[in-house]
Structure 1
Amino acid sequence: MKVTVQDAEIIKNIEPQQLKEYLQSHGWQEDRPFLDNATIWHKQAEKGEFEILLPNTKNLGDYVPRVRELTQTIASSENLSYLEILSEFINNYPHLKIQGFVTQIANPNADKLSGEVTIVCPVFEKLRQIKTVLLDHDYILAIKSYQERLPVRCTGDLVKENEIFILKNPREFQIENI
C-alpha cells in the first residue's frame, strides 16, 4: 500500500508562516532579510551550521523549489527524512490517492445510508488514521471491506484539523483486487 506523493502540490499549500513557526520552534535563528522576498535563517547542529532561505510569500516563481530545498536542509539538520519533515506542514492536500484498510465504522446516520469510517494507511511514510464520511454504495463497500479485511483505495482532499486527518470529498472508493 502506498500514497501517491506529488510534493509540488503539497508545497503550494504550505504557508510561509507555518515554515517560520516551525523554524522558530526548532532552534533556527533568523539572521537577515534577503532582498525583499525572503529571510536567511541559521542553525548550529551536530553536523555543522545550516543555512536556509525562507520565502516571505507564496507568489514567487521559485517558491516550490525554495521550499523543497528548505525542507531538505531541515531534514539533514535534524537527521530525519524529507517526507517526515514535509508531513509536519501538511494541513491541506487536494486530490490525494490513498490505499489502506477500514479499521472503524461509526453507526450509520439515521436519515440516510451513510456514516463515518476510519481508514488506516501510510501518508508520507507514517501510518495514519484518516476519517471520512461515505454515502450509499461507498458506505456499503466500506462495511464489506471492514468485515472481510479487504484493502480499499480512494481519492479525496486531505485536511488536518486539530491533528486529525480528514478526507473530504471522497471519490472513486473501491475495494482493491487482491
Structure 2
Amino acid sequence: MNVTVKDINILQSIQPQQVANYLQNHGWHQQKHLQDKASIWMQGNEVGEPVTIVLPLNQDIPGFPVSISVILETLETKENRSQLDIISELITTVNNIRIQGIVRQINAPNADQLSGKIVSLGVVCDQLREIQMELFNHDYILAIKAYQERLPIACTGDLVREDSCFVLKNIRNFALDESWKN
C-alpha cells in the first residue's frame, strides 16, 4: 500500500535546495535553471526514456505544495520507494508540529537553572525518530516524571533537522499525554 503525502504544512516546509541536493545525489541532472523561478531535472527511466521534474525555487509561490506533491509521486514511481521514505530525507524544518512520544533519555540538568536537554522517541513522517529538546522549569520536571514512570508526552514546536538528528525548538504545551488512556 502506497501512502500519498498530502499535508500542506509538511509539503510547504520542504526547502527547494534540499530537493535539488536530493536529486543530484540520486543521479538526476539539472537541465535548465530558470532564474529564481524553477529548475528542470532529468533522468532516464528503465527503458532509457527521459523523466522530467520541474522544481519550483520559491516556496511562496501559489501551488508550491502541489508541485512538491507531484515531485514526490514521480520519485516514488521512479525509485520504487514510498513517499514517506523520500520525504523523511527532504524535511529540514516543520513549524508548529505536534509531537507525541516517550522520553528516552534525560541529560544532566544545567547547573544555573532548572532546565536540561532530553531525547524523546516520537513519530516524524510515520517513522520513529529521536527528537532532542531543551526544557525549562515545570516542563523539565514533567519530562523527568514521564521518564521515570514511562508515561507518554505531547507538545508542539518547530522541528528542525540538524545534521542527522531532529531538534524541537520553540516548545509549547509540553504535557503528559493522557490520550492513550481513552
Q: Report TM bin, short chain.
A: 0.7 to 0.9
Q: CA deviation at 1:93?
A: 0.9
Greater mean deviation of Cα atoms: 72-81 or 5-14: 5-14
Give the 5 Å matches for 1:163-174. 163-174=164-175
Give the TM-score, by structure 1 length.
Answer: 0.86
Name the counterpart of 1:14.
14
Write the deviation string for residues 27-54 of structure 1: whole angstroms up to 9, x where unpaired.
1123346798333322234487532111
Quick check: 1:47–1:77 contact (8 Å CA) kept in 2?
A: no
Which segment drifts farther, 66-75 or 33-42? 33-42
CA, structure 1 residues 148+41, in 2 after alignment: closer, same or farther (shift >3 Å)?
Answer: same
Letter in 2 for 1:115: G
Any unmatched runs of 5+ in structure 2? none
- How far apart in 2 are the matches of 1:59 and 1:108? 40
Q: 1:40 corresponds to which letter in structure 2? A: I
Alpha-carbon RMSD: 2.3
Change over 3 Å in CA distance of 1:36–1:170 after alignment to 2: closer
The one-letter amino acid of 2:109's match is P
Distance change >3 Å, CA 103–CA 89, structure 1 → 2: same
Count of residues in Structure 1 that have an aligned counterpart in Structure 2? 174
Higher mean alpha-carbon deviation, 93-102 vs 31-40, is at 31-40
Letter in 1 for 2:161: K
State the Cα deviation string for residues 89-126 of structure 1 (Å, max 9, x = none): 11111111011000000111112111111110111121
Please give the residue correspondences for 1:146-165 in structure 2 after superposition, counting only pairs within 5 Å: 146-165=147-166
Partner of 2:108: 107
Q: Which consecutive residues of structure 1, in runs of 5 or more, have no partner in the other structure?
A: none
